[in-house]
Amino acid sequence: MKNGMVINNRYKIINKIGEGGMVNVYLSHDNKLNRLVTIKLIRLDFKNSKKAQRHFKYEKIAINKLNDSHIVKVYDVGDYKDNKYLVMEYVPGNDLKKYIQKNYPIDLKTVIYIMSQVLSAVNEAHKNGIIHRDLKPQNILITKDKNVKITDFGIALMDNLLPLTKTNSIVGSIHYISPEQILGKAITKKSDIYSLGIILYELLVGSVPFSGDSPVNIAMKHSNSNVPSIIRSNNIVPQSLENVVLKSTAKNPDDRYDSVIQMKDDLESSLLPERKNEAKLFFKVNSSNDFDDDKTKILDLNKDYNYDVNNNKTKKLVLVMLGLLFFIILIILLMHFIFFSKVQVPNVYNNNLKTAEQKIRKSRLLSTKVIYRHDYKLPHNHVIETIPKANTRLLNHSGIKLIVSDGESNIKMNNYVGKDYNKVYNSLIKMGFKVNKIYNYNNYFMPNHILNQNILPNTKVNPKKSTLNLVVSKYGKPFDMANLVGMDENAVKNYINKNHLKANYHYENTKDQPNGIVYQQNPSAGLKIQGGYNIELWISKGSMGNDNLNHSFNLSLTVPYKDTNDERGNKIVIYSNINGKGLSLYETMFINKDTKINIPYNLKTNEKIRYEVYRDGELIMK
């Protein structure tokens, strides 16, 4: 869903703010009611999923029954291009998981303030016969003012829709799930209380109580282990507050609080002085020694039960229990193979999209997102890369993003003037441009920087069909100026081009020089110059009468050096009428000793030489 799109002429997409298991979440603007809203949209790969559509339906039914300021409101459910969407209240801020990560350790009064709001919201749901079943910090939103709202009632259990919302599968998030949910037993309001206890633990400690190598390992800890000591991790927590966690997370639902309100009252009084010396609560963990027909147990096969071999009923019971245990182990192993074994991401580079998705499915992975990107090497709809990359090992049925070429297309030309040629050349070649490098010899710009480009910026071009000419600055190597006097014009121009010089040509009638021959130059032969240097050349147009002819000669001057603190030496500026006109700048230089200079003149018979020489701004010769 692109930014700026409008759903059903009402909801304008602003930007994507989240991504869930089956949905994408967008910040949007309700053009009709002029307010910000959150839109959940079923992802394209789950578009036809009845499970995803059912979650949308039940979330709206559940929340519409509730009226609490700490529960996110649902405004609308609709269809857009055969896809379901859910319009909800927009809550500025973050989810509680991110809040804990950013702000831990959290002041105890703040913990109680946040948790009390959560408990009030869950109590409202319980009063209306709704069990959330997926309480976790990621489903709790919190604003800057620490006001919280619960969301995501998609898998809630509702009394009046019990046959529809009750399933035989395990639902919930593995780090917050109650032992009875793991064992597939009846889910009650006390199952939510267990999850609330785990959330309170995380607020106090900064992390979840149980972690492991696999979901099965974490699930076993929820069933068989008490939560670790909070006080050892956070010694400012009093025993009375830790006891709230211990009671709400007891393995046996009968040991937990009878209601959310009871837990809330106990929590809000936990910091009172009279509870300062409260004793630590202890609750029994499920043991294989407990044997009762309505409880799930793990048989201790090493224990001698002294069964009477003649007692058929006892034998049958043992066989049934062993068969049930074997079946449970088989199911766990099968689930581990299907969902938790690792597979390798296939290499689908340059495969078309359909073939790539088939290979991914055969590898027991899911193609969850397709992102199109310009690529000038691969045709349209061919895979550029996968995220994660090929050969990465992932859990079964993990999601893969495909980066796919949108083929040849026109792009807007960038402005490369002033940039380093070496830094842009490779990217231009990857785009598909043919690049021509043209040197400009000069001393004014950094070497290897682009001075000009033949395709103007912002022009739409197809790189594969375009040649880009880049004019690049280059310093010439110093060399001695040749004596060009006496050479013909063609030979001189070859010399100019070969050495990357710039020349101004003056054509004059002379008294005794043949047509097309150089009779004067500036600078003089033997001076150090380099590529990009400007030189002056006088070329004869042939002889004519003596009246008013140009005559050429060199004036030699010695400029005296004067001590200075400038590391460069004396700055010398020379003005001259070298072509018989008024004074103009002839040359600027720095000298570190007495220096001889030559000024070439080309004057008519009735013109006189003129010059002025300044040293560090002071006129010293004229």
Sketch out the chain's domains with CATH numbers.
Answer: 6-89 (3.30.200.20), 94-275 (1.10.510.10), 342-405 (3.30.10.20), 411-474 (3.30.10.20), 546-622 (2.60.40.2560)
Residue range 316-320: mean pLDDT, rounded: 74
DSSP tag of 161: G
pLDDT at 295 over 50: no
Residue range 417-437: mean pLDDT, rounded: 89
pLDDT for 314 equals 58
Cα(622)–Cα(618) distance, integer angstroms: 11
Closest by CA position to 511, among listed 604, 580, 581? 604
Cα(123)–Cα(265) distance, integer angstroms: 12
**pLDDT tier, 522 (very low <50, low <70, confident <90, very high otherwise):** confident
Contact 118, 140 (CB under 8 A): yes
pLDDT for 106 equals 95
pLDDT > 70 in the chain, percent: 84
**pLDDT tier, 425 (very low <50, low <70, confident <90, very high otherwise):** very high
Cα(180)–Cα(278) distance, integer angstroms: 29
Cα(248)–Cα(255) distance, integer angstroms: 8
Cβ count near 79 (within 10 Å): 10
Determine phi and psi for 147, rounding to 5 degrees: -90, 135
Which DSSP helix (H) or strand (E) runs through 395? Answer: strand 393-395
Residue range 437-457: mean pLDDT, rounded: 82
Contact 473, 481 (CB under 8 A): no
**Amino acid making up residue 240:** S
DSSP tag of 254: G
pLDDT for 224 equals 86
pLDDT for 544 equals 62
Closest by CA position to 21, among listed 59, 49, 60, 61? 49
Q: What is the pLDDT of residues 206-221, one digit of tens each?
A: 999 998 888 888 888 8
How many CA atoms, within 13 angstroms, populate the side-chain half-sphere of residue 490? 0
Length of the chain: 622
pLDDT > 90 in the chain, percent: 32
For helices 108-127 and 260-268, angle between their N-to-C axes, nearest 10 degrees = 160
Report CA 549 to chain centroid distance, whole Å: 75
**pLDDT tier, 160 (very low <50, low <70, confident <90, very high otherwise):** very low
Cα(374)–Cα(384) distance, integer angstroms: 10
**pLDDT tier, 338 (very low <50, low <70, confident <90, very high otherwise):** low
Residue range 54-61: mean pLDDT, rounded: 64
Residue range 303-308: mean pLDDT, rounded: 37
**pLDDT tier, 368 (very low <50, low <70, confident <90, very high otherwise):** confident
pLDDT at 341 over 80: no
Residue range 335-357: mean pLDDT, rounded: 81
Catalytic residue among 134, 152, 192, 375: 134
Report CA 149 to chain centroid distance, whole Å: 29
pLDDT for 308 equals 39
> What percent of the chain is helix, strand and coil (3-state, nearest 5)?
30, 30, 40
Give the alpha-carbon dihedral of 251, 253, 258, 261, to 10 degrees.
50
**Amino acid making up residue 288:** S
**pLDDT tier, 57 (very low <50, low <70, confident <90, very high otherwise):** low
Structure tokens of 260?
């959310």
What does 51-112 look like in DSSP terms, one character per residue?
A: HHHHHHHHHHHHHHT---TTB--EEEEEESSS-EEEEEE---SEEHHHHHHHH-S--HHHHH
pLDDT for 60 equals 61
Active site residue 134: yes
Cα(285)–Cα(496) distance, integer angstroms: 96
Residue range 251-266: mean pLDDT, rounded: 94
Contact 492, 484 (CB under 8 A): yes
pLDDT for 187 equals 85
Q: Which residues contact 127 (CB under 8 A, 6 or more apart)?
A: none
Arithmetic mean of pLDDT over the chain:
82
Contact 414, 359 (CB under 8 A): no
Q: What is the pLDDT of residues 461-502, one digit of tens each?
A: 888 888 999 988 877 677 888 999 889 999 999 998 888 888
Cβ count near 558 (within 10 Å): 9
Report CA 480 to chain centroid distance, whole Å: 56
pLDDT for 296 equals 32
